[in-house]
Amino acid sequence: MNINLTLIVQMLVFALLIFGTMKWIWPHILSAMEERARKIAQGLAAAEQGEQELAAARGKAETIVREARERANQIIDHAQHRANDLVEQARSTAGTEGGRLIAAAQQQIQLDATRARETLRREVAGIAVAAAARLLGREIDAKKHAELLDKLAAEV
Amino acid sequence: MAAEKAGGATEYILHHQTFLSNKPPHGIVDFTVINYDTVFFSVLLAAVFFGLFWLVARKATTGVPGLLQNIIEWIVEKVDEQVRDTFHGTSRLIAPLALTIFCWVFLFNFMDLVPVDLLPLVGRGAGFEHLKVVPSTDLNATFALSLTVFILIIFYSLKMKGLVGFVSELTLQPFKAKNVLVQAVLVPVNFILESVTFLARPVSLALRLYGNLYAGEMIFLLIAVLTLSVGLHSLTTFGGVVGTVFKIIGEFGLGLVWTVFHILIITIQAFIFAVLTVVYLSMAHEHH
């Protein structure tokens, strides 16, 4: 075991190797690693941002749906009110119309009854005259007794 | 290499401890000698490291990474984390340096998990008498790492603190005095203490790695000596075929256990080297 020229040669080789590693290996590998770390960090940040955006969009969508639902309910309520109103209105119109019709019909009935009574009275007067003529055995001069007959007919 | 004769265990281990060099070394320091095997394997492993990482770095995608890119990025990320935890300044050097040290040392150490006799056997086939395949069992390799780190420590200390700051850090602590005369006496004491601490860093870095891997390799060698090599030798003397089979199973079992345990050691040693380097360099950057 002795110290010899190998020492010097080894030192030269070592120095060269250090230089080579420093110049051609270390920076390249480290920069690649750092670049990758940066990329991953970016990717993670982007993913997080995307997640946040998704949550925000989800919230917004929920709000919109809720608002739409409320609006729909409002519209339905409104429509129901309107329908009720219409029905009420129709009912009242129908009631008035019916009353009017009933009144007209009653008037007509009264008119008819009066007319019928008049006819009946005349017929009764005729019958009464005929009966009286038969009882008296002679013709009653209708012209003479017209006043009396009319008075009678009015009493019937 | 099974021992060919009785007492071959020593020879077997010594054979494995010998480098493939241009000539046998004389003395502790001999700069005319070079270990071809250490240089070859460390350059090969550097190429493996650089090739793999460069392949990924060249077409690193910022999208979904493939398997290889994933593994490489995992290592890079762990190193980056570790450096960020320890070092709070800005430096374009420290993190790549830590990555280089961790991967290269890990690959050095990983060679220890290749069966001890496999590559030397191949080497012998190719005509090389000796072959040491684990660069971190060569003091030259571990000291080359730690001395380079040491130079960087000095460079950054001077750059960040200036010469005055660096020298005062070595001389004005840990003992401080308000009296100028007392302080003048304390300066040499401080200097001795601090320079020991300072110089101990590269030495401990290099010796810790070397010692762990040397010991690890030695245990693989001992397992081989105690079982297979002796077993093959004793095939003709005693124990017979049954004894040999037992020894082969023993070699396999012990080797497996130690390999599994060793995976932990080699990773931890590579990690310790890289982390301590970062710690030392961040200390060089800090002001007191």
The ipTM (two decimal places) reads 0.86
- Mutating which of B32, B62, B69, B152 best tests the A interface, going by the most A Cβ atoms within 10 A? B62
pLDDT per residue over A63-90, tens digit each? Answer: 999 999 999 999 999 999 999 999 999 9
pLDDT value at position B1?
39
Partner-chain contact B62 A32, CB within 8 Å: yes
Domain membership of residue B238 (yes or no) is yes
- pLDDT at B155 exceeding the cut of 90: yes
Higher model confidence: residue B174 or residue A34? Answer: A34
Mean pLDDT value of segment B194-199: 92
**A103: exposed, middle or buried (Cβ count in 10 Å: 0-12, 13-18, 19+):** exposed
How many beta carbons lie within 10 A of that of residue B221, not counting itself?
19
Domain membership of residue B1 (yes or no) is no
Domain membership of residue B106 (yes or no) is yes
Domain membership of residue B229 (yes or no) is yes
Domain membership of residue B3 (yes or no) is no
Name the pTM for this structure.
0.74
Higher model confidence: residue B266 or residue B130? Answer: B266
Domain ranges of chain A: 29-155
- Print the domain residue range for B276: 8-285
Separation between Cα atoms, residue B244 and residue B239, nearest integer Å: 7
Domain membership of residue B2 (yes or no) is no
Per the structure, how many domains does chain B have?
Answer: 1
Residue A4: its chain B contacts at CB < 8 A?
A: 21, 25, 29-35, 140
Residue B104: its chain A contacts at CB < 8 A?
A: 14, 17
Domain membership of residue B142 (yes or no) is yes
pLDDT per residue over A99-124, tens digit each? Answer: 999 999 999 999 999 999 999 988 88
CA distances in angstroms from A111 to A96, A107, B45, listed in the order given: 22, 6, 138
- pLDDT at A44 exceeding the cut of 80: yes
Residue B135: its chain A contacts at CB < 8 A?
A: 10
Domain membership of residue B64 (yes or no) is yes
pLDDT value at position B118?
84
Of B42, B49, B72, the CB nearest to A29: B72
User: What residue type is B147 in one-letter code?
Assistant: L
Residue A8: its chain B contacts at CB < 8 A?
A: 31, 144
Of A1, A17, A36, the CB nearest to B100: A17
CA distances in angstroms from B97 to A103, B76, B104, B202, listed in the order given: 121, 11, 10, 16
Of A9, A29, A33, the CB nearest to B39: A9
